Protein backbone atom coordinates (compact mmCIF):
# COMPACT_ATOMS: atom_id res chain seq x y z
CA UNK A 1 0.00 0.00 0.00
CA UNK A 2 1.03 3.58 -0.54
CA UNK A 3 2.33 5.59 2.34
CA UNK A 4 0.44 8.70 3.24
CA UNK A 5 2.62 11.70 2.45
CA UNK A 6 2.09 14.70 4.73
CA UNK A 7 0.56 17.75 3.06
CA UNK A 8 3.01 20.67 2.66
CA UNK A 9 2.05 24.00 4.20
CA UNK A 10 1.54 25.88 0.91
CA UNK A 11 0.08 24.57 -2.35
CA UNK A 12 2.67 24.07 -5.08
CA UNK A 13 2.02 26.68 -7.73
CA UNK A 14 4.01 25.46 -10.68
CA UNK A 15 2.27 22.93 -12.87
CA UNK A 16 4.01 19.59 -13.15
CA UNK A 17 4.78 19.05 -16.82
CA UNK A 18 3.75 15.73 -18.31
CA UNK A 19 6.87 13.82 -19.34
CA UNK A 20 6.73 13.17 -23.07
CA UNK A 21 8.65 11.45 -25.83
CA UNK A 22 10.81 14.05 -27.58
CA UNK A 23 9.34 15.21 -30.90
CA UNK A 24 12.39 14.08 -32.91
CA UNK A 25 12.02 10.60 -31.44
CA UNK A 26 8.28 10.19 -31.50
CA UNK A 27 7.80 11.18 -35.14
CA UNK A 28 9.43 7.83 -35.97
CA UNK A 29 7.14 5.69 -33.86
CA UNK A 30 3.49 5.17 -32.99
CA UNK A 31 4.07 4.80 -29.24
CA UNK A 32 2.21 7.00 -26.81
CA UNK A 33 3.53 10.56 -26.73
CA UNK A 34 2.86 11.08 -23.01
CA UNK A 35 4.93 8.92 -20.74
CA UNK A 36 2.62 9.41 -17.74
CA UNK A 37 3.23 10.99 -14.35
CA UNK A 38 5.28 9.17 -11.76
CA UNK A 39 3.52 8.88 -8.41
CA UNK A 40 5.74 11.63 -7.03
CA UNK A 41 4.80 13.93 -9.92
CA UNK A 42 1.12 13.11 -9.58
CA UNK A 43 1.10 13.86 -5.88
CA UNK A 44 2.92 17.15 -6.50
CA UNK A 45 0.41 18.14 -9.19
CA UNK A 46 -2.57 17.04 -7.09
CA UNK A 47 -1.39 19.21 -4.23
CA UNK A 48 -1.83 22.30 -6.38
CA UNK A 49 -5.60 21.79 -6.15
CA UNK A 50 -7.26 24.40 -3.94
CA UNK A 51 -10.06 21.98 -2.95
CA UNK A 52 -12.69 24.62 -3.71
CA UNK A 53 -15.94 24.10 -1.82
CA UNK A 54 -18.06 24.89 -4.87
CA UNK A 55 -15.75 22.95 -7.21
CA UNK A 56 -16.51 24.60 -10.57
CA UNK A 57 -14.45 21.88 -12.29
CA UNK A 58 -17.16 19.29 -11.57
CA UNK A 59 -19.73 21.34 -13.45
CA UNK A 60 -17.40 21.25 -16.46
CA UNK A 61 -17.37 17.45 -16.49
CA UNK A 62 -20.08 15.82 -18.64
CA UNK A 63 -20.20 12.80 -16.32
CA UNK A 64 -19.79 14.81 -13.10
CA UNK A 65 -16.69 13.14 -11.62
CA UNK A 66 -15.96 14.28 -8.03
CA UNK A 67 -12.76 15.96 -9.14
CA UNK A 68 -11.65 17.59 -5.84
CA UNK A 69 -12.38 14.24 -4.19
CA UNK A 70 -10.11 12.13 -6.36
CA UNK A 71 -7.44 14.81 -6.75
CA UNK A 72 -7.42 15.25 -2.95
CA UNK A 73 -7.03 11.51 -2.49
CA UNK A 74 -4.03 11.49 -4.82
CA UNK A 75 -2.56 14.44 -2.90
CA UNK A 76 -2.96 12.36 0.26
CA UNK A 77 -1.30 9.45 -1.45
CA UNK A 78 -4.45 7.39 -1.07
CA UNK A 79 -4.50 6.05 -4.59
CA UNK A 80 -6.96 3.24 -3.92
CA UNK A 81 -9.50 5.78 -2.73
CA UNK A 82 -8.76 8.09 -5.68
CA UNK A 83 -9.54 5.45 -8.29
CA UNK A 84 -12.66 4.39 -6.41
CA UNK A 85 -13.95 7.97 -6.52
CA UNK A 86 -13.26 8.30 -10.26
CA UNK A 87 -14.89 4.96 -11.03
CA UNK A 88 -18.07 5.96 -9.25
CA UNK A 89 -18.74 8.28 -12.19
CA UNK A 90 -16.55 6.98 -14.98
CA UNK A 91 -15.63 3.38 -15.68
CA UNK A 92 -13.21 4.29 -18.47
CA UNK A 93 -10.82 6.78 -16.85
CA UNK A 94 -7.66 5.66 -18.67
CA UNK A 95 -9.39 6.61 -21.90
CA UNK A 96 -10.97 9.89 -20.72
CA UNK A 97 -7.77 11.10 -19.09
CA UNK A 98 -6.18 10.86 -22.50
CA UNK A 99 -8.83 12.00 -24.95
CA UNK A 100 -11.23 14.40 -23.17
CA UNK A 101 -10.94 18.06 -24.16
CA UNK A 102 -10.11 19.05 -20.56
CA UNK A 103 -8.98 22.50 -21.62
CA UNK A 104 -12.57 23.24 -22.61
CA UNK A 105 -14.26 21.27 -19.82
CA UNK A 106 -13.10 20.70 -16.23
CA UNK A 107 -9.78 22.51 -16.57
CA UNK A 108 -11.45 25.51 -18.19
CA UNK A 109 -13.39 26.00 -14.93
CA UNK A 110 -10.42 25.54 -12.58
CA UNK A 111 -9.86 28.58 -10.34
CA UNK A 112 -6.10 28.19 -10.67
CA UNK A 113 -6.50 28.58 -14.40
CA UNK A 114 -7.61 32.15 -13.96
CA UNK A 115 -4.24 33.06 -12.44
CA UNK A 116 -2.00 30.75 -14.38
CA UNK A 117 -2.34 27.13 -15.25
CA UNK A 118 -5.20 24.93 -14.06
CA UNK A 119 -4.68 21.63 -12.26
CA UNK A 120 -3.87 18.94 -14.84
CA UNK A 121 -7.03 17.00 -14.09
CA UNK A 122 -6.80 14.89 -17.24
CA UNK A 123 -3.23 13.85 -16.55
CA UNK A 124 -4.18 12.93 -12.99
CA UNK A 125 -7.15 10.90 -14.17
CA UNK A 126 -4.91 9.04 -16.62
CA UNK A 127 -2.32 8.52 -13.89
CA UNK A 128 -4.71 7.03 -11.39
CA UNK A 129 -6.25 4.72 -13.99
CA UNK A 130 -2.81 3.54 -15.14
CA UNK A 131 -1.77 3.02 -11.53
CA UNK A 132 -4.72 0.76 -10.96
CA UNK A 133 -4.05 -1.28 -14.08
CA UNK A 134 -0.33 -1.60 -13.46
CA UNK A 135 -0.04 -1.87 -9.71
CA UNK A 136 -3.34 -1.79 -7.98
CA UNK A 137 -5.05 -4.68 -9.72
CA UNK A 138 -8.36 -3.69 -11.28
CA UNK A 139 -11.19 -4.20 -8.82
CA UNK A 140 -14.47 -5.14 -10.39
CA UNK A 141 -17.29 -2.89 -9.26
CA UNK A 142 -20.14 -4.48 -7.35
CA UNK A 143 -22.85 -5.93 -9.56
CA UNK A 144 -26.48 -5.82 -8.50
CA UNK A 145 -28.45 -9.08 -8.38
CA UNK A 146 -29.78 -10.13 -11.77
CA UNK A 147 -32.97 -8.39 -12.83
CA UNK A 148 -33.57 -10.91 -15.62
CA UNK A 149 -33.81 -8.02 -18.08
CA UNK A 150 -31.86 -7.97 -21.33
CA UNK A 151 -30.32 -4.87 -22.89
CA UNK A 152 -28.93 -4.71 -26.44
CA UNK A 153 -26.27 -2.10 -27.10
CA UNK A 154 -25.54 -1.28 -30.74
CA UNK A 155 -22.00 0.01 -31.20
CA UNK A 156 -19.02 -0.52 -28.91
CA UNK A 157 -17.75 3.06 -28.92
CA UNK A 158 -17.47 5.19 -25.79
CA UNK A 159 -21.25 5.62 -25.51
CA UNK A 160 -22.04 1.95 -25.98
CA UNK A 161 -19.34 0.87 -23.53
CA UNK A 162 -20.73 3.28 -20.92
CA UNK A 163 -24.24 1.92 -21.31
CA UNK A 164 -22.89 -1.62 -21.13
CA UNK A 165 -20.93 -0.84 -17.97
CA UNK A 166 -23.81 0.94 -16.25
CA UNK A 167 -26.48 -1.57 -17.19
CA UNK A 168 -24.44 -4.63 -16.27
CA UNK A 169 -23.75 -3.11 -12.85
CA UNK A 170 -27.47 -2.59 -12.38
CA UNK A 171 -27.99 -6.31 -12.84
CA UNK A 172 -29.16 -6.42 -16.46
CA UNK A 173 -27.87 -8.86 -19.04
CA UNK A 174 -26.03 -6.82 -21.68
CA UNK A 175 -25.10 -7.77 -25.23
CA UNK A 176 -23.01 -5.35 -27.28
CA UNK A 177 -23.18 -5.59 -31.08
CA UNK A 178 -20.20 -4.24 -33.01
CA UNK A 179 -20.08 -4.03 -36.82
CA UNK A 180 -16.29 -4.07 -37.03
CA UNK A 181 -13.93 -6.89 -36.08
CA UNK A 182 -12.55 -4.98 -33.10
CA UNK A 183 -14.25 -3.34 -30.14
CA UNK A 184 -14.05 0.33 -29.23
CA UNK A 185 -15.62 2.22 -32.12
CA UNK A 186 -13.89 5.56 -32.62
CA UNK A 187 -11.47 4.67 -29.83
CA UNK A 188 -10.04 1.91 -32.00
CA UNK A 189 -10.51 3.12 -35.59
CA UNK A 190 -10.24 6.85 -34.99
CA UNK A 191 -7.91 7.74 -32.17
CA UNK A 192 -4.31 6.84 -32.96
CA UNK A 193 -2.10 4.54 -30.90
CA UNK A 194 0.18 7.45 -29.97
CA UNK A 195 -2.71 9.15 -28.19
CA UNK A 196 -4.53 6.11 -26.83
CA UNK A 197 -2.62 2.82 -26.79
CA UNK A 198 -4.98 0.07 -27.89
CA UNK A 199 -3.76 -2.18 -25.07
CA UNK A 200 -5.43 0.22 -22.62
CA UNK A 201 -8.69 0.04 -24.51
CA UNK A 202 -8.49 -3.76 -24.63
CA UNK A 203 -8.00 -3.91 -20.87
CA UNK A 204 -10.98 -1.64 -20.22
CA UNK A 205 -13.09 -3.84 -22.49
CA UNK A 206 -11.81 -6.96 -20.70
CA UNK A 207 -13.08 -5.52 -17.44
CA UNK A 208 -16.55 -5.22 -18.94
CA UNK A 209 -16.34 -8.76 -20.29
CA UNK A 210 -15.38 -10.10 -16.89
CA UNK A 211 -18.37 -8.25 -15.45
CA UNK A 212 -20.54 -10.35 -17.74
CA UNK A 213 -21.06 -8.13 -20.78
CA UNK A 214 -21.34 -10.20 -23.94
CA UNK A 215 -19.64 -8.78 -27.03
CA UNK A 216 -20.57 -9.77 -30.58
CA UNK A 217 -18.23 -8.57 -33.29
CA UNK A 218 -18.98 -8.53 -37.05
CA UNK A 219 -22.60 -7.85 -36.13
CA UNK A 220 -23.86 -5.04 -38.32
CA UNK A 221 -27.28 -4.14 -37.01
CA UNK A 222 -29.54 -3.09 -39.86
CA UNK A 223 -28.03 -5.87 -41.98
CA UNK A 224 -27.71 -9.02 -39.91
CA UNK A 225 -30.42 -8.14 -37.39
CA UNK A 226 -32.95 -5.33 -37.52
CA UNK A 227 -33.69 -2.90 -34.71
CA UNK A 228 -37.17 -4.37 -34.66
CA UNK A 229 -35.77 -7.83 -34.00
CA UNK A 230 -33.62 -6.46 -31.21
CA UNK A 231 -36.69 -4.72 -29.82
CA UNK A 232 -38.47 -8.08 -29.77
CA UNK A 233 -35.58 -10.05 -28.27
CA UNK A 234 -34.42 -7.53 -25.68
CA UNK A 235 -36.13 -5.42 -23.04
CA UNK A 236 -34.33 -2.27 -24.18
CA UNK A 237 -32.03 -1.22 -27.02
CA UNK A 238 -29.35 1.48 -27.06
CA UNK A 239 -28.20 2.88 -30.42
CA UNK A 240 -24.68 4.30 -30.23
CA UNK A 241 -23.96 4.08 -33.93
CA UNK A 242 -21.32 6.78 -34.05
CA UNK A 243 -20.05 8.77 -36.97
CA UNK A 244 -21.46 8.37 -40.42
CA UNK A 245 -20.47 9.24 -43.92
CA UNK A 246 -17.61 11.72 -44.00
CA UNK A 247 -18.13 15.21 -45.38
CA UNK A 248 -16.00 16.28 -48.28
CA UNK A 249 -15.14 19.82 -49.28
CA UNK A 250 -17.29 19.89 -52.41
CA UNK A 251 -14.40 21.06 -54.58
CA UNK A 252 -13.16 19.59 -57.87
CA UNK A 253 -10.78 16.64 -57.69
CA UNK A 254 -12.02 15.07 -54.48
CA UNK A 255 -12.40 11.62 -55.95
CA UNK A 256 -8.80 11.43 -57.15
CA UNK A 257 -6.74 8.57 -55.77
CA UNK A 258 -4.80 9.96 -52.82
CA UNK A 259 -7.74 11.89 -51.38
CA UNK A 260 -8.79 10.29 -48.12
CA UNK A 261 -11.55 11.28 -45.76
CA UNK A 262 -10.01 11.55 -42.31
CA UNK A 263 -12.19 8.58 -41.33
CA UNK A 264 -10.61 6.44 -44.02
CA UNK A 265 -7.09 7.69 -43.36
CA UNK A 266 -7.42 7.00 -39.65
CA UNK A 267 -9.21 3.67 -40.13
CA UNK A 268 -6.56 2.38 -42.49
CA UNK A 269 -3.81 3.45 -40.15
CA UNK A 270 -5.30 2.71 -36.72
CA UNK A 271 -7.76 -0.14 -37.14
CA UNK A 272 -6.14 -1.89 -40.09
CA UNK A 273 -2.56 -1.03 -39.06
CA UNK A 274 -1.56 0.15 -42.53
CA UNK A 275 1.54 1.75 -40.99
CA UNK A 276 2.81 -1.81 -40.61
CA UNK A 277 2.19 -2.66 -44.29
CA UNK A 278 3.15 -5.13 -45.76
CA UNK A 279 3.20 -7.09 -42.49
CA UNK A 280 -0.45 -6.12 -42.36
CA UNK A 281 -2.28 -6.33 -45.66
CA UNK A 282 -4.08 -2.97 -45.79
CA UNK A 283 -2.09 -0.37 -47.74
CA UNK A 284 -2.02 3.40 -47.35
CA UNK A 285 -0.38 6.04 -49.53
CA UNK A 286 2.63 7.31 -47.64
CA UNK A 287 2.59 10.76 -49.16
CA UNK A 288 5.73 12.84 -49.59
CA UNK A 289 3.74 16.05 -49.14
CA UNK A 290 0.44 15.75 -47.33
CA UNK A 291 -2.29 18.36 -46.83
CA UNK A 292 -4.83 17.83 -44.05
CA UNK A 293 -7.84 20.13 -44.11
CA UNK A 294 -9.52 21.11 -40.84
CA UNK A 295 -8.75 22.27 -37.32
CA UNK A 296 -10.25 19.67 -35.00
CA UNK A 297 -8.78 16.69 -33.16
CA UNK A 298 -9.35 14.46 -36.15
CA UNK A 299 -7.35 16.84 -38.33
CA UNK A 300 -4.50 16.87 -35.78
CA UNK A 301 -4.53 13.08 -35.58
CA UNK A 302 -4.43 12.79 -39.37
CA UNK A 303 -1.57 15.27 -39.71
CA UNK A 304 0.45 13.53 -37.02
CA UNK A 305 -0.13 10.15 -38.65
CA UNK A 306 1.12 11.60 -41.94
CA UNK A 307 4.28 12.72 -40.10
CA UNK A 308 4.78 9.23 -38.69
CA UNK A 309 4.17 7.62 -42.08
CA UNK A 310 7.26 9.51 -43.23
CA UNK A 311 5.90 12.53 -45.10
CA UNK A 312 8.51 15.21 -45.71
CA UNK A 313 6.06 18.06 -45.44
CA UNK A 314 2.66 18.03 -43.73
CA UNK A 315 0.39 21.03 -44.19
CA UNK A 316 -2.58 21.65 -41.97
CA UNK A 317 -4.95 23.87 -43.91
CA UNK A 318 -7.51 25.64 -41.71
CA UNK A 319 -9.88 28.37 -42.77
CA UNK A 320 -9.92 30.28 -39.49
CA UNK A 321 -7.13 31.30 -37.11
CA UNK A 322 -5.50 29.23 -34.41
CA UNK A 323 -7.78 30.60 -31.67
CA UNK A 324 -10.82 29.11 -33.39
CA UNK A 325 -9.33 25.65 -33.79
CA UNK A 326 -11.62 23.20 -32.00
CA UNK A 327 -8.84 20.68 -31.29
CA UNK A 328 -7.47 19.99 -27.81
CA UNK A 329 -4.74 22.53 -27.11
CA UNK A 330 -2.27 19.77 -26.31
CA UNK A 331 -2.82 18.14 -29.70
CA UNK A 332 -2.24 21.40 -31.56
CA UNK A 333 0.99 21.94 -29.62
CA UNK A 334 2.11 18.38 -30.22
CA UNK A 335 1.38 18.67 -33.94
CA UNK A 336 3.41 21.86 -34.24
CA UNK A 337 6.29 20.33 -32.26
CA UNK A 338 6.25 17.45 -34.71
CA UNK A 339 6.73 19.83 -37.62
CA UNK A 340 3.18 20.15 -38.93
CA UNK A 341 3.00 23.32 -41.01
CA UNK A 342 -0.19 25.16 -40.03
CA UNK A 343 -1.56 27.13 -42.95
CA UNK A 344 -4.08 29.28 -41.11
CA UNK A 345 -6.77 31.38 -42.74
CA UNK A 346 -6.50 29.25 -45.83
CA UNK A 347 -9.12 27.21 -47.65
CA UNK A 348 -8.68 24.65 -50.46
CA UNK A 349 -10.45 25.48 -53.70
CA UNK A 350 -9.37 22.65 -56.00
CA UNK A 351 -7.44 19.40 -55.90
CA UNK A 352 -5.18 19.08 -58.92
CA UNK A 353 -4.63 15.72 -60.62
CA UNK A 354 -1.55 14.33 -62.38
CA UNK A 355 -3.50 13.29 -65.46
CA UNK A 356 -3.57 9.65 -64.31
CA UNK A 357 -6.11 9.98 -61.53
CA UNK A 358 -3.67 10.76 -58.71
CA UNK A 359 -3.38 13.84 -56.54
CA UNK A 360 -0.59 16.17 -57.61
CA UNK A 361 -1.41 19.46 -55.93
CA UNK A 362 -3.81 21.61 -53.99
CA UNK A 363 -5.06 25.07 -54.86
CA UNK A 364 -5.63 27.22 -51.81
CA UNK A 365 -7.25 30.61 -51.28
CA UNK A 366 -6.35 32.99 -48.45
CA UNK A 367 -9.11 33.95 -46.04
CA UNK A 368 -9.86 36.85 -43.71
CA UNK A 369 -12.14 36.90 -40.68
CA UNK A 370 -15.42 38.79 -40.97
CA UNK A 371 -18.35 39.18 -38.58
CA UNK A 372 -19.16 36.45 -36.05
CA UNK A 373 -21.41 33.69 -37.44
CA UNK A 374 -24.02 31.46 -35.78
CA UNK A 375 -21.28 29.55 -33.93
CA UNK A 376 -20.04 32.82 -32.40
CA UNK A 377 -16.77 32.51 -34.27
CA UNK A 378 -15.74 35.09 -36.82
CA UNK A 379 -16.72 33.95 -40.28
CA UNK A 380 -13.86 33.35 -42.70
CA UNK A 381 -14.23 35.08 -46.08
CA UNK A 382 -12.07 34.24 -49.11
CA UNK A 383 -9.76 36.98 -50.38
CA UNK A 384 -10.39 37.18 -54.10
CA UNK A 385 -7.43 36.55 -56.34
CA UNK A 386 -5.21 35.27 -53.53
CA UNK A 387 -5.14 31.66 -54.79
CA UNK A 388 -1.88 29.76 -54.87
CA UNK A 389 -0.89 26.12 -55.33
CA UNK A 390 1.11 23.68 -53.27
CA UNK A 391 2.53 20.36 -54.43
CA UNK A 392 0.99 17.47 -52.50
CA UNK A 393 0.33 13.80 -53.21
CA UNK A 394 -2.12 13.08 -50.39
CA UNK A 395 -5.07 15.24 -49.30
CA UNK A 396 -7.09 14.45 -46.18
CA UNK A 397 -10.30 16.44 -45.62
CA UNK A 398 -11.02 16.26 -41.87
CA UNK A 399 -14.15 18.37 -41.73
CA UNK A 400 -16.66 16.14 -40.00
CA UNK A 401 -19.30 13.52 -40.73
CA UNK A 402 -22.94 13.26 -41.58
CA UNK A 403 -25.28 10.61 -40.23
CA UNK A 404 -24.75 6.93 -41.00
CA UNK A 405 -27.77 5.89 -43.09
CA UNK A 406 -27.28 2.12 -42.91
CA UNK A 407 -29.37 1.38 -39.83
CA UNK A 408 -31.58 4.43 -39.72
CA UNK A 409 -32.80 4.13 -43.33
CA UNK A 410 -33.83 0.52 -42.83
CA UNK A 411 -35.64 1.12 -39.53
CA UNK A 412 -39.27 2.06 -39.88
CA UNK A 413 -40.71 4.10 -37.04
CA UNK A 414 -37.40 5.63 -35.98
CA UNK A 415 -37.77 9.40 -36.15
CA UNK A 416 -34.87 11.28 -37.71
CA UNK A 417 -34.21 14.99 -38.04
CA UNK A 418 -33.62 16.71 -41.37
CA UNK A 419 -29.92 15.82 -41.29
CA UNK A 420 -30.68 12.14 -40.76
CA UNK A 421 -29.69 12.06 -37.09
CA UNK A 422 -31.88 10.16 -34.64
CA UNK A 423 -34.24 12.33 -32.63
CA UNK A 424 -33.71 11.51 -28.95
CA UNK A 425 -34.94 13.12 -25.74
CA UNK A 426 -31.91 14.87 -24.18
CA UNK A 427 -33.17 13.98 -20.69
CA UNK A 428 -33.44 10.24 -21.34
CA UNK A 429 -32.10 9.35 -24.78
CA UNK A 430 -35.53 7.92 -25.63
CA UNK A 431 -36.32 7.72 -29.36
CA UNK A 432 -39.64 7.45 -31.17
CA UNK A 433 -39.44 3.64 -30.89
CA UNK A 434 -40.57 2.01 -27.69
CA UNK A 435 -37.69 0.86 -25.53
CA UNK A 436 -35.13 2.16 -28.01
CA UNK A 437 -32.66 4.78 -26.77
CA UNK A 438 -29.87 6.60 -28.59
CA UNK A 439 -26.94 8.94 -27.99
CA UNK A 440 -23.54 10.15 -29.16
CA UNK A 441 -22.70 11.18 -32.70
CA UNK A 442 -25.81 9.58 -34.25
CA UNK A 443 -27.91 12.02 -32.20
CA UNK A 444 -25.62 15.03 -31.87
CA UNK A 445 -23.71 14.99 -35.13
CA UNK A 446 -20.00 15.11 -34.50
CA UNK A 447 -19.25 15.30 -30.78
CA UNK A 448 -16.61 14.03 -28.39
CA UNK A 449 -15.85 10.80 -26.58
CA UNK A 450 -16.94 12.19 -23.23
CA UNK A 451 -20.19 13.62 -24.58
CA UNK A 452 -21.00 10.19 -25.99
CA UNK A 453 -20.22 8.76 -22.55
CA UNK A 454 -22.43 11.38 -20.94
CA UNK A 455 -25.28 10.43 -23.26
CA UNK A 456 -24.69 6.79 -22.39
CA UNK A 457 -24.89 7.60 -18.70
CA UNK A 458 -28.18 9.48 -19.13
CA UNK A 459 -29.65 6.70 -21.26
CA UNK A 460 -28.53 4.00 -18.81
CA UNK A 461 -30.60 5.58 -16.05
CA UNK A 462 -33.60 5.83 -18.35
CA UNK A 463 -33.11 2.26 -19.57
CA UNK A 464 -32.96 1.05 -15.98
CA UNK A 465 -36.17 2.86 -15.12
CA UNK A 466 -37.82 1.62 -18.28
CA UNK A 467 -36.98 -2.07 -17.87
CA UNK A 468 -37.67 -2.21 -14.15
CA UNK A 469 -40.99 -0.33 -14.32
CA UNK A 470 -44.08 -2.50 -14.09
CA UNK A 471 -45.35 -2.57 -17.58
CA UNK A 472 -48.58 -4.14 -18.61
CA UNK A 473 -48.42 -3.33 -22.29
Partner 1 sequence: MYSIVEKTETAPNTILIKVKAPAIANKAQPGQFIVIMVDERSERTPYTLSDWSKKDGTITFVVNEVGRSTGKLVSREEGDNLYSVVGPLGIPPKIHEVGTVVCAGGCFGIAAILPLARAFKNAGNRVISIIEARACYLLYLERELKKASDELIIATGDGSRGMRGFAPDVIKTLIERGERLDQVIALGCTFMLKLVCEATREAGVKTLVDLCPIIVDATGMCGCCRVEVGGETKFACVDGPFFDGHKVDWDVLGFRKAAYVRQEVDSVQSSKVGVKR
* Distance of closest approach, residue 309 Cβ to partner 1, in angstroms: 13
* Residues between 230 and 249 with contacts to partner 1, criterion CB under 8 A: 242-246, 248
Identity of the residue, 166 or 441, whose beta carbon is nearer to partner 1 in the bound complex: 441
* Distance of closest approach, residue 351 Cβ to partner 1, in angstroms: 13
Closest by CA position to 224, among listed 277, 284, 177? 177
**Residue of the chain from 225, 251, 336, 462 that contacts partner 1 (CB under 8 A):** 225
Q: What CA–CA distance (Å, rounded) separates 56 from 109? A: 6
**Residue of the chain from 8, 357, 372, 426 that contacts partner 1 (CB under 8 A):** 357
Terminal-to-terminal C-alpha distance of the chain? 53
* Distance of closest approach, residue 400 Cβ to partner 1, in angstroms: 12
* Distance of closest approach, residue 314 Cβ to partner 1, in angstroms: 20
**Residue of the chain from 114, 115, 356, 418 that contacts partner 1 (CB under 8 A):** 356
* Distance of closest approach, residue 311 Cβ to partner 1, in angstroms: 16
* Distance of closest approach, residue 265 Cβ to partner 1, in angstroms: 9
Identity of the residue, 126 or 242, whose beta carbon is nearer to partner 1 in the bound complex: 242
- Class of residue 66 by CB neighbours under 10 A (exposed 0-12, middle 13-18, buried 19+): middle
Maximum distance among all alpha carbons in the chain? Answer: 71
Identity of the residue, 242 or 348, whose beta carbon is nearer to partner 1 in the bound complex: 242
Cα Rg, the chain, nearest whole Å:
23
Q: What CA–CA distance (Å, rounded) separates 373 from 385? A: 24
* Residues between 398 and 427 with contacts to partner 1, criterion CB under 8 A: 401, 404-406
Distance of CA 71 to the CA centre of its chain: 23
**Residue of the chain from 255, 386, 389, 417 that contacts partner 1 (CB under 8 A):** 255
Show contacts of 401-404: CB within 8 Å, 24+ apart: 401/243, 401/244, 401/245, 401/246, 401/247, 401/263, 401/441, 401/445, 401/446, 402/244, 402/245, 402/246, 402/247, 403/244, 403/245, 403/442, 403/445, 404/241, 404/242, 404/243, 404/244, 404/245, 404/442
Distance of CA 43 to the CA centre of its chain: 27
* Distance of closest approach, residue 220 Cβ to partner 1, in angstroms: 6
Residues in binding contact with partner 1, number by CB under 8 A:
46
Whether the CA torsion 439, 331, 49, 197 is positive or negative: it is positive
Asked if 179 touches partner 1 (CB under 8 A), the answer is: yes
Identity of the residue, 46 or 205, whose beta carbon is nearer to partner 1 in the bound complex: 205
Identity of the residue, 44 or 268, whose beta carbon is nearer to partner 1 in the bound complex: 268
Under 8 Å CB-to-CB from 46, ≥6 apart: which residues?
Answer: 71, 72, 74, 75, 119, 124
Identity of the residue, 144 or 224, whose beta carbon is nearer to partner 1 in the bound complex: 224
Identity of the residue, 280 or 388, whose beta carbon is nearer to partner 1 in the bound complex: 280
Identity of the residue, 189 or 466, whose beta carbon is nearer to partner 1 in the bound complex: 189
The torsion region of residue 45 among left (phi > 0), alpha (psi -120 to 50) and beta comes to: alpha
Q: What CA–CA distance (Å, rounded) separates 272 from 442? A: 24
Identity of the residue, 61 or 188, whose beta carbon is nearer to partner 1 in the bound complex: 188
* Residues between 180 and 219 with contacts to partner 1, criterion CB under 8 A: 180-181, 189, 217-219
Provide the β-strand partners of residue 365: 347
Q: What CA–CA distance (Å, rounded) separates 435 from 429? A: 10
Under 8 Å CB-to-CB from 326, ≥6 apart: which residues?
Answer: 295, 296, 297
* Residues between 260 and 319 with contacts to partner 1, criterion CB under 8 A: 260-261, 263-264, 267-268, 271-273, 277-283, 285
Identity of the residue, 69 or 246, whose beta carbon is nearer to partner 1 in the bound complex: 246
**Residue of the chain from 25, 144, 199, 223 that contacts partner 1 (CB under 8 A):** 223
The site for partner 1 (CB under 8 A) is made up of 179-181, 189, 217-220, 223-225, 242-246, 248, 254-258, 260-261, 263-264, 267-268, 271-273, 277-283, 285, 356-358, 401, 404-406
Amino acid sequence: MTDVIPTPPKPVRKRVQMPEQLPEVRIHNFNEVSLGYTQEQAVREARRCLQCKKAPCVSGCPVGIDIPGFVGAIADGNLRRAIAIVKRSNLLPAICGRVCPQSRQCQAQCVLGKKGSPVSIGNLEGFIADWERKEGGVKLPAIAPSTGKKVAVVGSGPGGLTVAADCVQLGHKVTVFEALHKLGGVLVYGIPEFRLPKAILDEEVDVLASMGVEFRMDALIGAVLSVKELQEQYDAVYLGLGAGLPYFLGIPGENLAGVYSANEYLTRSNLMKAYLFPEYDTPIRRGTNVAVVGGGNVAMDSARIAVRLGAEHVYLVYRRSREEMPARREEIEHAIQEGVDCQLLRNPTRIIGDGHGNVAGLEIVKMELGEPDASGRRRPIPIEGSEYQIEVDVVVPAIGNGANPLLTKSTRGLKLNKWGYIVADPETGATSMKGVFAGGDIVRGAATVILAMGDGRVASRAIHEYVTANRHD
